[in-house]
Structure 1
Amino acid sequence: MSESPTRVELGRAGEHETSARPQPEPNKPTNADAPAVFEVSDLMVSYGGQPAIRDVSMTIRRNEITAMIGPSGCGKTTFLRCFNRMNDLIPSARVEGSISYHGEDLYAKAVDAVEVRRRIGMVFQKPNPFPKSVYDNIVFGPKVNGLKVDFDELVERSLRRAALWDEVKNKLNDSAYSLSGGQQQRLCIARAIAVDPDVILMDEPCSALDPIATGRIEDLMRELENDYTIVIVTHNMQQAARVSDRTAFFTAEVEDEASDFRFGRLVEYDLTENIFKNPGDSRTEDYVTGRFG
C-alpha cells in the first residue's frame, strides 16, 4: 500500500458510543514503507482434515499494531497462533501455504519452534501468571533461555515497560496471584518482554478486564509499539479502532449448504481508518455497523 497508516482514537472502553459504527479519528501516521515482519501467502489451517481458515494472505509491518476482528468461529485465534507456531502443539493441526518471518520460511524444518516462541511472544485471553512470586515470573523465561544478565535490573526494566513497576516494586516477593486481574495481565506482558521478543501476539488480552484496566493495557500497547510489532485479536471493535494501525476483518463461511461446518476467511485488510470509515467490502460495512456478528 502506498498510503500511510493512521492511528485512530475513540473514547475509552466503557464510554458511551453515539453511533453503531466506531468513529476513529486520525492521530499518528506511521511508515507505510516499514519492513515486513510477516508475509502470509495462501495460508490454510485445518484440524483433523477440516479447514479452520482458508486463503489468507497479508503483510504485517514492523512497529505497527495490527488488529484481527470478526465474529466468533472465523479463525482469528487460529491465525494468530500460526505466527509463533502454537498450532504445532495440536496433533491434528496442519498448516499449508506460507508464512515468512523477516524473509525466512517460518515453517521450514530447520527452524527451531522454541526459538520462534521466544522471538514471538504471546499474551493470552485470561491472565496466566505462573504460581510464583512477581519477581520469579519475570526471571523464569530468561533463566530457561540461559540469559546471563542482572536479573534485578531486568525485573525492574520489564515491569517499568509494562507500566507496573510503581504498583509492585514493594511486592516483588508476593505471589503473582495476589495482584488484580489487570495487574496480572500487565505482569504477563512484562514476562513476555523480559525475553527480548521481536513481536508480541495478544489474544483478546482485555476480554476479562474492567474498563479501567482495559484502558491501561491499551495505553501500554501504544507505548510498546515503538519497540515491538503487535498483533491483537479482539471482539471489541472500538478497541481495534482505538489502538491499531491496520485491521483485518475475517468472517465465517459455510463449507457447503448440506453441512453446518464453517471455516474462516479473510474478507478485508486495510488501514484501520479505512476499515471503519470507508470499507471496501459490504460484509465489512455490515459488521462494523453492527448489522451482523
Structure 2
Amino acid sequence: MASELQSARKTETVFRTENLNIYYGDFLAVRDISIEIPKNKITAFIGPSGCGKSTVLRCFNRLNDLIKSFHLDGKLFYHDQDLYAPEIDPVEVRRQIGMVFQKPNPFPKSIYDNVAFGPRLLGYKGDMDELVERSLKQAALWDDIKDKLKAMGTDLSGGQQQRLCIARAIAVQPDVILMDEPCSALDPISTLKVEDLLQELKEKYTILIVTHNMQQASRASDRTAFFNVEANAKGQRTGYIVEYDRTEVIFQSPKEQATQAYVSGRFG
C-alpha cells in the first residue's frame, strides 16, 4: 500500500471528497462535503463552533476510526485512491498524513527523542542525527535549541513546544500535515512565527488547518472553506460547507451572505 500511495503523489489534487456524510451512530454530524484540496497549498477550514471542521479534518488521516460510533458514506480520495477502501492500512495513512493538535503535546522525553520517536518506530535506517537536525530546521526551531537537544521537550515555551510537535510530524516524512487549531494556545508572537513557518513548509507539504482566527486564515491560507451549522427539529446540529474558494474571494468578495456575515464578525 505504501508504494501505491507514494506513486500517486504527482497529482495536483491531494484530497477529493464526494458527497461525504459523517455519522456518530445515527447522528449526522456533517453532510454533503464535496471538496478538492490542492497540492502544496494551505487550505483553511473556518466556521462557528460545532460546524464539523475538526470532524472533517480527522477523516483525512482516519483518526475518527478510533471512535466506535463513527462511520461515513460518500467517498474520500487521497491521490485518487479511496482512503476508506478495505485494503488501506490506517497506520500507513497516518504516517503519510501527519497531525498537529490544538494544544502542544510533546512527549515527556528529550527534544532529540521527541523528533526521533516516529522514525525509530518505523525502523528508519538513515542518519538519525541528520534527520533530527533537518526536521528541527524545517520547523524553525534548530537555532533556539541546538545546544540543548537532551533537554526535556516539555520544558520549552508554548510556541517552541508547538514547533517541536511540527518537527516531530515532519520527521516521518509525510505528504500532508493536518493542523487542528495549532495556534489557539499560543501568544500572538508565537502565532506569527508558526504562520511564517507554514509558508515555508508548504513548499514541501500540503497543509490543512482548522482555525477560529479569521486573521490567521486570511493571512496564512491559499484557499478557505467556510463551514456553518444547522439544527433539525430535535435540536441536533449538522455541519456543512457554505462556500469554498480562494482565500481572497472568501474574505473580500464571498458569494454567500452567510459567508460575508461570518468573516465580517456579525456571527460566530
Q: For this structure pair, what is the TM-score category when the shorter chain's length is used for normalisation?
A: over 0.9
Tell me which residue corresponds to 1:74: 51
Tell me which residue corresponds to 1:273: 248
Amino acid at match of 1:180: S
Tell me which residue corresponds to 1:151: 128
Which structure has more relative contact order (CA 8 Å, sep 6+)? It is: 1
Tell me which residue corresponds to 2:119: 142
Tell me which residue corresponds to 1:175: 152
Do residues 236 (structure 1) and 202 (structure 2) align?
A: no
Do residues 127 (structure 1) and 104 (structure 2) align?
A: yes
1:277 CA drift (Å): 0.6
1:56 CA drift (Å): 0.5
Amino acid at match of 1:57: S
TM-score by length of 1: 0.87
Give the Cα separation in 2 of the matches to 1:194 and 1:69: 28
Q: How many residues align?
A: 258
Q: Secondary structure at the match of 2:144?
A: helix
1:95 CA drift (Å): 1.4
Tell me which residue corresponds to 2:178: 201
Give the Cα separation in 2 of the matches to 1:237 and 1:41: 27
Tell me which residue corresponds to 2:71: 94
User: Of 227, 231, 236, which residue of structure 2 is paired with 1:261?
Assistant: 236
CA displacement, residues 54-90 of structure 1 (integer Å, 9 cap, x when unaligned) = 0010000100000000000000000000000000000
Q: Secondary structure at the match of 2:117?
A: helix
Amino acid at match of 1:263: T
1:290 CA drift (Å): 1.1
- Runs of 5+ in structure 2 lacking a partner? 1-10
Give the Cα separation in 2 of the matches to 1:92 and 1:131: 31
Q: Secondary structure at the match of 1:128?
A: coil
Give the Cα separation in 1 of the matches to 2:155 and 2:239: 39
Give the Cα separation in 2 of the matches to 1:268 and 1:58: 10
Do residues 60 (structure 1) and 75 (structure 2) align?
A: no
Give the Cα separation in 2 of the matches to 1:38 and 1:289: 29
Give the Cα separation in 2 of the matches to 1:40 and 1:237: 24
Give the Cα separation in 1 of the matches to 2:49 and 2:27: 17
Amino acid at match of 1:264: G
CA displacement, residues 215-237 of structure 1 (integer Å, 9 cap, x when unaligned) = 00000000001000000000001
CA displacement, residues 90-134 of structure 1 (integer Å, 9 cap, x when unaligned) = 001011111100010000010010000000000000000011100
Give the Cα separation in 2 of the matches to 1:197 and 1:59: 19
CA displacement, residues 167-211 of structure 1 (integer Å, 9 cap, x when unaligned) = 111111011111000000000000000000000000000000000
4+ aligned runs moved over 3 Å, structure 1: none
Tell me which residue corresponds to 1:24: none
Percent identity over the alignment?
64
Amino acid at match of 1:231: L
Amino acid at match of 1:230: I
Do residues 211 (structure 1) and 196 (structure 2) align?
A: no
Q: Secondary structure at the match of 1:253?
A: strand
1:149 CA drift (Å): 1.1
Amino acid at match of 1:91: K
Tell me which residue corresponds to 1:37: 14
Give the Cα separation in 2 of the matches to 1:183 and 1:78: 27
Give the Cα separation in 2 of the matches to 1:64 and 1:269: 14
Give the Cα separation in 2 of the matches to 1:95 and 1:145: 29
Tell me which residue corresponds to 1:83: 60
TM-score by length of 2: 0.95
CA displacement, residues 219-264 of structure 1 (integer Å, 9 cap, x when unaligned) = 00000010000000000011000010000000010122xx211010
Give the Cα separation in 2 of the matches to 1:131 and 1:171: 15
